[in-house]
Amino acid sequence: MKAIAFIYNPRAGKLLRHPGLVERTIDAVRSYGPVEVCPTTGPRTAGALAQQQVARGAKWIVVLGGDGTINEVANGIVGTQAALVPLPGGTANVLCVETRVGTNPVKAAGAIGLRQPRRIAVGHLKNSTTDRYFLAMAGAGLDATVVNAVNPAIKDKLGKLAYWVSGFGMFGKSLAQFHSDIDGFVSQRSFLLASRVRNYGGDLEIARNISLLDNCLEAVSFTGANSFRYMPYLVGVLLGKPDLCPGVDVRPARVLECQAINGHPVPIQVDGEAAGFLPARIAVVPDAITILLPTEYIERAERNPWTTSPTP
């Protein structure tokens, strides 16, 4: 029997919309061992809760929440031997959709015993206000601007549709430019995604090569100060061929340095949460965290390794 900590965000979108879901999920987790239930008390409290539970001997840190809450818990246990066990409780649930955990937390909790532990790399972002690991992605420019513009009240009502509303609101506006240096490849961009996952926002695949088992990031970057240029980019993403669009660059990466141009503020997001502004350094950190992954995901990743991934 495992000593299990169950951390959840009472304000997570899915949990607010479905009363009783937390209790049913906890009941499913209890079949694997004694559970210490730990609700968060506000932003940036999940990581400290996770650290406390690891210090008390918890072997599984089960987290029910959105990607932001999962990110906080991961930051609390990076470098330890405790295993992260994500369950979908948020708006987009990028990590859970990516790894085939699914979007039903009760069903996912009942299948935890079928998952396998894997030690994986994570991303790391550092700027003047943020020093943070990430499991899914960091983005600079357009997508972070969209994240910053999402109205929380609309997000509570519409879920991930709120991000589409915010995104389409950007059309017709000019986009801030920035310099990016991706392992020595220097260019001017308006959107750069450094990703550990293929899934983007629960609906799209922008980084189409990477998996959590790779020891690198996938950097996908876009040129263009005019937001209308992103219409063909979106078509390319929907067709599964963004790298064939002029102005799009896709490559494996270990270190990315980004710098705003002429002092214009360029925002950053990490795992769907605002994370300040450029300049910033993004890097891969190998052998960082243990996560329980579904066998289906592991087999797919092992069958299709990104063989161009740089060795750390």
Q: Which residue spans within 135-236 are E strands per DSSP?
A: 137-141, 178-182, 185-189, 191-195, 199-200, 204-205, 217-222
Mean pLDDT of 247-263: 94
Give the pair of three-digit tokens for residue 140: 């600079």
How many Cβ atoms are within 10 Å of 73's Cβ, its own excluded?
30
Q: Is 132:48 a contact under the CB 8 Å cutoff?
A: no
Residue 154: pLDDT band with limits 50, 70, 90? low
Predicted TM-score of the model (pTM): 0.89
Q: What are phi and psi of 119, to 5 degrees?
A: -90, 125
Residue 6: pLDDT over 50:
yes
Q: Domain extents for the chain?
A: 4-110, 125-285
- The answer to whether 71 touches 45, Cβ cutoff 8 Å, is no
The number of angstroms, rounded, from the C-alpha of 32 to the middle of its chain's C-alpha atoms is 27
Tell me if 248 sits within 8 A of 262, measured CB to CB.
no
Specify the residue for token string 């210090």.
55
Looking at every residue in the chain, the average pLDDT score rounds to 89
Please tell me the predicted confidence (pLDDT) of residue 14: 79
Rounded to whole angstroms, what are the CA distances from 24 to 30, 73, 96?
A: 10, 21, 18
Of residues 202, 199, 27, 14, the one with CA closest to residue 112: 27
* Each residue's pLDDT tens digit, 34-71: 999 999 998 899 999 999 999 999 999 999 998 999 99
Q: 179 with 110: CB under 8 angstroms?
A: no
CATH number for domain 125-285, candidates 2.40.110.20, 2.30.29.30, 3.40.50.970, 2.60.200.40: 2.60.200.40
Strands 191-195 and 199-200: unpaired
The CATH code of the domain at 4-110 is 3.40.50.10330
% of the chain surpassing 90 pLDDT: 66
One-letter identity of residue 193: L
Q: Looking up tokens 């210490």, which residue turns up?
A: 36
Whether 4-110 and 125-285 share one fold: the answer is no
- Between 145 and 2, where is the model more confident? 145
260: pLDDT strictly greater than 50: yes
Kindly report the number of other CB atoms within 10 A of residue 246's CB atom: 10
pLDDT in tens, 116-126: 999 999 999 99
